[in-house]
């Protein structure tokens, strides 16, 4: 614990090497066993939490994590900081850097966290943007490793929209040597540049990263992952997406294709009956609430490595 990452900011899974991700996961496991760590590694540290989007798991896990490690978190609601409206993102980054030790931001556009990191003199953490959700991915890989004992060589499948979560999982899997397939309806694939980069990284680590429209691609999969069909900000598309995505879900039929012991993941909140049915979400091999808990441990580990 407490070994700083080579990188100052965490905006993307690609900001860390495979070794650094593994170190964070090891620290997360240690903090899960000993929640306050050794000698409260974030004692007297302060985290500024910028929210453009509301959240249950993000706010509570970061705020609780700082408290458990001896630090303090300040919640800044959308009305408190109107990024780019009331004040420029540059000025916000420079001002907060004079007050706090870490900045976390949950935003709509990825360019906002990039701009914050450009001007901040303290570490900036991407707690969700429209391009990536790397904090979620850290918790996901911690959860998979706990259930399966490893990551390299496993086959994970993400079923649904090729969104920000899918992007972070593709990058992380590629770095960690985990085979990963994103299964989407036509026209809802992950960004082409993400696919290309993840495939190139995977070629170096032995991970096969792919996308397809065929649900049979999840045959024998060790991990099945899904997310809401319409993310926050896409509410106007919800009805149309429900029609298009109706077959791209985790249910009893999907489970028949995967390995019998396949781990079921969902980053929550879930729309039961859409992307996953309630009965499947409560099977013994479902780890969705382990995932939710591990947001706390993985983010604590990340903050310790960045600022501890």
Q: Is 52 a catalytic residue?
A: no
Catalytic residue chosen out of the listed positions 57, 110, 133, 297: 133
Band of the pLDDT at 7, cuts 50, 70, 90?
A: low
Buried b (16+ CB within 10 A) or exposed e, 110-119: bebbbbbbeb
Q: Is 133 a catalytic residue?
A: yes
Q: What is the pLDDT of residues 146-167, one digit of tens each?
A: 999 999 999 999 999 999 999 9
Q: Is 227 a catalytic residue?
A: yes
Tell me, what's the pLDDT at 2? Answer: 45
Vertex 95: Cα angle to 93 and 98 (nearest 5) = 110
Distances (CA, A) of 190 to 151, 196, 219, 274: 22, 10, 21, 20
Q: Report CA torsion sign: 224, 264, 290, 189.
A: positive
Tell me, what's the pLDDT at 85? Answer: 75
More confident residue, 307 or 83: 307
Q: Is 267 a catalytic residue?
A: yes
Mean predicted confidence (pLDDT) in 31-60: 94
Asked if residue 54 has pLDDT above 90, the reply is no
Mean predicted confidence (pLDDT) in 2-21: 84
Q: What is the pLDDT of residues 70-121, one digit of tens each?
A: 999 999 998 888 777 789 999 999 999 999 999 999 999 999 999 999 999 9
Catalytic residue chosen out of the listed positions 130, 140, 222, 227: 227
Q: Is 106 a catalytic residue?
A: yes
Asked if residue 6 has pLDDT above 80, the reply is no
Buried b (16+ CB within 10 A) or exposed e, 258-273: bbeebbbbbbbebeee
- Alpha helices by DSSP H, listed for the chain, are 18-33, 57-68, 89-99, 110-119, 134-148, 164-176, 192-205, 238-244, 252-257, 278-281, 288-307
- Residue 164: half-sphere exposure toward Cβ, Cα within 13 Å: 24
Distances (CA, A) of 67 to 25, 43, 63, 226, 297: 20, 9, 6, 31, 12
| pTM of the predicted model as reported, rounded to 2 decimal places | 0.96
Catalytic residue chosen out of the listed positions 295, 297, 299, 305: 295
The gap between the terminal CA atoms of the chain, to the nearest Å, is: 8
Domains within the chain, CATH numbers bracketed? 13-133+295-307 (3.40.50.1370), 136-291 (3.40.50.1370)
Catalytic residue chosen out of the listed positions 57, 106, 155, 249: 106
Task: Judge contact between 115 and 90, C-beta under 8 A.
Answer: yes
Asked if residue 18 has pLDDT above 90, the reply is yes
Catalytic residue chosen out of the listed positions 267, 274, 291, 297: 267
């Amino acid at each position: 614990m407490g070994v700083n990452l080579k990188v100052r900011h965490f905006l993307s899974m690609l900001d860390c090497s495979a070794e650094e991700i593994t170190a964070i996961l090891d620290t997360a496991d240690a903090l899960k066993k000993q929640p306050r760590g050794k000698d409260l590694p974030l004692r007297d540290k302060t985290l500024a939490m910028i929210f453009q989007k509301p959240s249950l798991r993000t706010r509570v896990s970061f705020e609780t994590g700082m408290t458990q490690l001896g630090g303090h978190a300040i919640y800044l609601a959308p009305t408190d900081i109107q990024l780019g409206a009331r004040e420029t993102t540059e000025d916000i980054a420079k001002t907060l850097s004079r007050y706090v030790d870490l900045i976390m931001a949950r935003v709509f556009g990825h360019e906002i966290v990039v701009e914050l990191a450009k001007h901040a003199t303290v570490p900036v953490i991407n707690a969700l943007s429209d391009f990536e959700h790397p904090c979620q991915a850290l918790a996901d890989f911690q959860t998979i490793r706990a259930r399966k004992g490893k990551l390299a060589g496993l086959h994970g499948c993400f079923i649904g929209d090729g969104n920000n979560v899918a992007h972070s999982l593709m990058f992380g899997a590629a770095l960690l040597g985990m085979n990963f397939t994103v299964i989407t309806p036509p026209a809802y694939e992950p960004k082409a540049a993400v696919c290309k980069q993840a495939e190139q990284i995977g070629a170096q680590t032995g991970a096969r990263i792919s996308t397809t429209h065929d649900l049979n691609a999840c045959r024998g999969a060790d991990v099945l992952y899904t997310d809401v069909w319409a993310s926050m900000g896409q509410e106007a598309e919800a009805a149309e997406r429900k029609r298009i995505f109706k077959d791209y879900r985790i249910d009893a039929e999907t489970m028949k294709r995967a390995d019998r012991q396949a781990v079921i993941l969902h980053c929550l909140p879930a729309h039961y009956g859409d992307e996953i049915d309630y009965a499947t979400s409560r099977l013994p091999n479902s780890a969705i609430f382990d995932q939710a808990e591990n947001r706390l441990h993985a983010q604590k580990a990340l903050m310790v490595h960045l600022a501890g």
